[in-house]
Amino acid sequence: MKFETPAGQNPIDQLKVVGRSTDRIDGKYKTTGTAPYAYERHDVVPNQAYGYVLGAGIAKGRLRGMDVAAAWKAPGVLAVLTTLDIPKLGLGKMNTANLFGGAEVQHYHQAIAVVVAETFEQARAASFLIRPDYAPEDGRFDLAAEARSAKPVGADSAEGSGGGPEDRVGDFEGAFAAAAVKLDETYTTPDETHAMLEPHATIAAWQGDRLTLWTSNQMIAWSKGSVAKILGIPPENVRVDSPYIGGGFGAKLFVRADAVIAALAAKAARRPVKLALTRPLIANNTTHRPATIQRIRIGATRDGTITAIAHESTSGNLPEGRPETAVDQTKLLYAGANRLTAMRLARLDLPEGNAMRAPGEAPGLMALEVAMDEMAERLGLDPVAFRVKNDTQVDPGHPERRFSHRDLVGCLRLGAERFGWARRSAKPGQVRDGQWLVGLGVAAGFRNNLLTKSAARVRLDGRGILTVETDMTDIGTGSYTIIAQTVAEMMGVSLDQVVVRLGDSDFPASAGSGGQWGANNATAGVYAACVKLREAVAQRLGVNSADAAFADGEVRAGNRGTPLAQAAAAGELVAEDGIEYGDIAKSHQQSTFAGHFVEVGVDVDTAEVRVRRMLAVCAAGRILNPKSARSQVIGGMTMGVGSALMEELAVDKKRGFFVNHDLATYEVPVHADIPHQEVIFLDEVDPMSSPMKAKGVGELGICGVGAALANAVYNATGVRVRDYPITLDKLLDRLPDAA
């Protein structure tokens, strides 16, 4: 199905099933421990052996050799495979770092060997007996030191954000120099790790020259192609199966070392092999969100009209890596005739920087939305009013291109009303609650809406059961449920008559999970397949498909109602189709918006920051399942708290690795850190997005919330922290007198 014009009235608009707060149909499996995750697929293939990956102990250099004799002699060992035993492998379509093979060490904990044994403990013990001989080289590990030599680089995050090395509209320098009120500040964000609960894990088995990977991966079609490319085998000889994923946040968008090495180890051992990356390897061997140094300049008239805005960001990565695209939202979020955005990339020898939830916008808004608050204060304007004043309904760089639907103002105004923003003290440090200084903060949230093709197959059997098959994944987002809701709505049945099968590369290729594009596009692909199935059902029953109504398990035309199951009485009906998009996204800018509001308390003696209340008001098209959408948003809000207050990969700038590479030392929010969170969805649809008229919310929840928290800390204390995370040491000696 080609989607080229705005969606008109269609069966989804009935909203009998879609749009309802529906319990997740996979919830019962996850709460009872019966949902099989990658490492737990004990029944998929017999005689599984265990692999254990050894990471490099240097950050840059070469391997002169590896003594593996003792490892081979260890109890239970079936195979020892080192990076020197095979030629350097090619890169997958989305990889920057080499995953295995060859003597060059690009970063700390790069995989250099794998041991396969009968038990996990035997494999781990044997790996410690390997003796690598390194030729270390000096590396570059300090972004601040390398920023001076960083080069202008353009890039696309592959998730909807990006830009050229330098993008200009108008005369920024002239307008900034002439502005009555100016701001010029620099903000930094640290390296972060995804810290998902389920590690990178894979079971690999060969049957002749055919490889099956039971793994944890967000993008099945991408990964199937990458595995084939890396291993040099035909794509049709690779099957990837990932029905349940215990979190990814972008870390599992791409093939990582666990999948490639499990495949190689299984071939070497001539046994199915299962392995999982340890927490230190997840931090140092896989990907992370790169640190940024961001300079923001804003110029405005005295009435608060922005006349000049510039956002420049520097980040680091391995050679051939991409920058963190932190400037992208600044092109679109606020009006202003004269604009500059620019990105620079420093070469670093740290592990690969790549996508983490809302790449670009998440760190970019942590700077931009604090700068907007600082500018509002200089202008003597309320921060909400300043943002509303500079709203735009067109792309500022291309005024002929309107937004398909944009209600940022509605988010901010409703949020201010519901949060009690009018009670906020404009002067910082004025509100006390016992030992706590109390403050309120606001920020805008922004994330683009991406359209990407997605396909599905739907089957109707003689019992009236509908089975949908697509390689779409569920990383805890509720894909099983919203896909079932889509089928139920389109075919006029109840949810208990729908079976959803996901995550298998033998199924039609979907949009996959990432960039908050999954829900809208995957359900649109299912919609297309259901349209084709409705036509087949109508033909089988001898009615005109245009006149047929599917409701309550029947197909109705005129005065006649026939059970849906009867259409398949003579044999199963199968329909396969997908959604493909024309140029509709080029004519109108498609984005999602939020207003984030946070209240914090800061202890006057210790500088401890406690979040007291959080509110997000979101404008993101039709909400397919408000219950699961809320879960996505509050998850993003929680990650935003982590980014603002605690998350930071500490870099050993001498040895070139992330020191706090486990969940004991890399701090993330826990239940005690998170108070009541309220989420409001504006009642809206966007017909230009898809037949579902939906968008995405999975990453909108993290976009802006960190800045709202930072602004609340400032409002509470009068202390402005521009270097994240906002830890006690950055506040303690600057707090107002506690008396």
Same domain membership, residue 86 and residue 204? yes
Same domain membership, residue 624 and residue 567? no
Q: Can you give the pLDDT at residue 651?
A: 98
Same domain membership, residue 675 and residue 656? yes
Joined tokens for residue 269: 């051992």
Q: Do residues 92 and 230 touch, judged by C-beta distance below 8 A?
A: yes
Nearest CA to 129 out of 186, 47, 72, 214 is that of 72
Q: Which amino acid is it at 156?
A: D
The answer to the question of residue 376 being in a domain is no
DSSP 56: P
Q: Among 237, 269, 285, where does a domain finish?
A: 285
Report phi then psi at 665, rounded to 5: -115, -20
The answer to the question of residue 342 being in a domain is no
Same domain membership, residue 209 and residue 72? yes
Residue 582: other Cβ atoms inside 10 A: 12
327-375 pLDDT, tens digit per residue, is 999 999 999 999 999 999 999 999 999 999 999 999 999 999 999 999 9
Q: What share of the chain is helix, strand, coil (3-state, %, to 5)?
A: 30, 30, 45
Q: Can you give the pLDDT at residue 739?
A: 52
Same domain membership, residue 619 and residue 565? no
Q: Do residues 471 and 511 touch, judged by C-beta distance below 8 A?
A: no
Q: Which of 192, 324, 489, 699 is catalytic?
A: 699
Same domain membership, residue 455 and residue 423? no
Q: Can you give the pLDDT at residue 485?
A: 98
Q: Is 699 a catalytic residue?
A: yes
Joined tokens for residue 570: 């003579």
User: What is the dihedral sign for C-alpha 566, 570, 571, 575?
Assistant: negative
Residue 90: other Cβ atoms inside 10 A: 14
Same domain membership, residue 126 and residue 214? yes
Q: Which domain holds residue 483?
A: 2-35+451-587
Mean pLDDT of the chain: 97
Mean pLDDT, residues 548-557: 96
CA distance linking residue 447 with residue 233, whole number of Å: 37
What kind and span of H or E run contains 238?
strand 238-241
CATH classification at residue 103: 3.30.365.10
453-509 pLDDT, tens digit per residue, is 999 999 999 999 999 999 999 999 999 999 999 999 999 999 999 999 999 999 999
CA distance linking residue 256 with residue 96, whole number of Å: 11
Exposure pattern of 601-622 as b/e (b: 16+ CB <10 Å)? bbbbeebebebbbbbbbbbbbb
Report phi then psi at 640, rounded to 5: -65, -35
CA distance linking residue 579 with residue 562, whole number of Å: 29
For the cut 80, the answer to whether the pLDDT of residue 568 exceeds it is yes
The answer to the question of residue 299 being in a domain is no
Mean pLDDT, residues 559-582: 96
User: What is the dihedral sign for C-alpha 523, 525, 531, 536?
Assistant: negative
Q: Do residues 594 and 413 touch, judged by C-beta distance below 8 A?
A: no
Tokens 């108008």, residue located: 170
The answer to the question of residue 657 being in a domain is yes
164-200 pLDDT, tens digit per residue, is 999 999 999 999 999 999 999 999 999 999 999 999 9
Mean pLDDT, residues 65-70: 98
Same domain membership, residue 484 and residue 583? yes
The answer to the question of residue 278 being in a domain is yes
The answer to the question of residue 232 being in a domain is yes
Q: Which amino acid is it at 39?
A: Y
The answer to the question of residue 730 being in a domain is yes
Q: How far is CA 101 from CA 81, 88, 96, 201, in A?
A: 10, 4, 14, 19
Q: Please enumerate, as own/partner, the contacts of 532-538 that have beta carbons within 8 Å and a separation of 24 or more.
A: 532/575, 532/576, 532/577, 533/458, 533/460, 533/491, 533/573, 533/574, 533/575, 534/490, 534/491, 535/575, 536/567, 536/573, 536/575, 537/460, 537/564, 537/567, 537/573
Q: Can you give the pLDDT at residue 160?
A: 77
Q: Do residues 78 and 271 touch, judged by C-beta distance below 8 A?
A: yes
CA distance linking residue 375 with residue 190, whole number of Å: 24
Mean pLDDT, residues 406-422: 98
Strands 292-300 and 306-317: antiparallel
For the cut 80, the answer to whether the pLDDT of residue 738 exceeds it is no
607-653 pLDDT, tens digit per residue, is 999 999 999 999 999 999 999 999 999 999 999 999 999 999 999 99
Mean pLDDT, residues 49-68: 98
Same domain membership, residue 598 and residue 557? no
Nearest CA to 647 out of 632, 634, 658 is that of 658
Q: Can you give the pLDDT at residue 156?
A: 87
The answer to the question of residue 377 being in a domain is no
Q: Considering its fold, how many domains does the chain have in total?
A: 3
Enumerate residues 6+ apart whose C-beta is below 8 A from 326.
Answer: 189, 292, 294, 311, 313, 315, 343, 360, 361, 363, 364, 367
Same domain membership, residue 671 and residue 595? yes
For the cut 60, the answer to whether the pLDDT of residue 429 exceeds it is yes
212-251 pLDDT, tens digit per residue, is 999 999 999 999 999 999 999 999 999 999 999 999 999 9
Q: Which amino acid is it at 586?
A: K
108-158 pLDDT, tens digit per residue, is 999 999 999 999 999 999 999 999 999 999 999 999 999 999 999 999 887
Collapsing DSSP states into helix, strand and coil, what is residue 459?
Answer: strand
Q: Among 235, 253, 285, where does a domain finish?
A: 285
- State the pTM of this model: 0.97
Joined tokens for residue 7: 């969606």
Joined tokens for residue 223: 């990964």
3-state secondary structure 386-450: HHHHCCCCEECCEEEEEECCCCHHHHHHHHHHHHCHHHCCCCCCCCEECCEEEEEEEEEEEEECC
Residue 449: other Cβ atoms inside 10 A: 27
Same domain membership, residue 92 and residue 22? no
Nearest CA to 574 out of 659, 468, 679 is that of 468
Report phi then psi at 399, rounded to 5: -60, -20
Same domain membership, residue 521 and residue 459? yes
CA distance linking residue 578 with residue 531, whole number of Å: 10
Enumerate residues 6+ apart whose C-beta is below 8 A from 104.
Answer: 62, 88, 98
Q: Among 240, 256, 285, where does a domain finish?
A: 285
